[in-house]
Homo-oligomer: A and B are copies of this chain.
Amino acid sequence: MLYVIGIGPGSQATMTMEALDAINDAEVIVGYKTYTHLVKALTVGKEVIKTGMCKEIERCLAAIELAQTGKKVALISSGDAGIYGMAGLILELVTKQNLDVEVRLIPGMTASISAASLLGAPLMHDFCHISLSDLLTPWEVIEKRIIAAAQADFVICFYNPRSRGRADHLERAFELMKPFKAAATPVGVVKSASRKKQEKWITTLGDMDFEPVDMTSLVIVGNQSTYEQNGLMITPRGYEV
């Protein structure tokens, strides 16, 4: 049995019951070391296989092979395994290579939902997720999506907004949005949502400081109705209040 588990953004409080049950049931835990560390308290006495970054295919194949020996294996992703996580790769490997293994997907809370609840209620209207990592997606495709989303006044959640190797992607994304979104549009940033080092702040499209944003950050850009009040970022749903 191979459980593919989204453990939520960080704290155990944001994990679902079924994710907890699946981790408890598993004999072996496989995951990127930051994630295995997040569930450390739940994995005492279990075999834990920590892997480095950028080893996704190896990590998935190792988990599948272990499960094929009859062990109950939990492959963990932070957030939801089905959103920029490991669920897709596992199913691609299983279907394309016709591998014989029972897979159970356990969804988790993705970073945007957790970040939104910490900022206020910025996702109350239509929104989209865009990853700014061009490791697996051509930058032109990403640009096209940013422009389309800004033009149609979506609230936009940026995943993987900024790393050392991609220090200017977020700034380029903001330049692309500026013809369509006002400089006063609220922008919320949450770093390490629901983890010990959690930080958050609200700024605007025009005043954005890119420097403090890193790969543990989630950036939410409002739509034309989004406002900030009392330190809260709110996108009205459209009720007359």
Contacts and interface: CB of A to CB of B under 8 A. Distances in A.
Interface in A211-241: 229-230, 232, 234-239, 241
A72 B83 CA distance: 35
Contact of A237 (B89, B128, B148): B89
Contact of A236 (B88, B142, B235): B88
Contacts of A57: 239, 241
B15 A17 contact: yes
A107 interface: yes
Contact of A16 (B84, B92, B109, B232): B109
A interface: dominant SS? mixed
Interface of A: 6, 8, 12-18, 20-21, 56-57, 80-85, 87-93, 95-97, 105-110, 113-114, 116-117, 120-131, 135-137, 141-142, 144-145, 147-149, 151-154, 229-230, 232, 234-239, 241
Given A80-B117, A89-B241, A93-B241, 20 more contacts: A14-B16, A14-B17, A15-B16, A16-B16, A82-B121, A83-B116, A87-B124, A88-B121, A88-B235, A89-B239, A97-B241, A105-B117, A105-B121, A106-B117, A107-B113, A107-B114, A107-B117, A109-B109, A127-B128, A145-B152
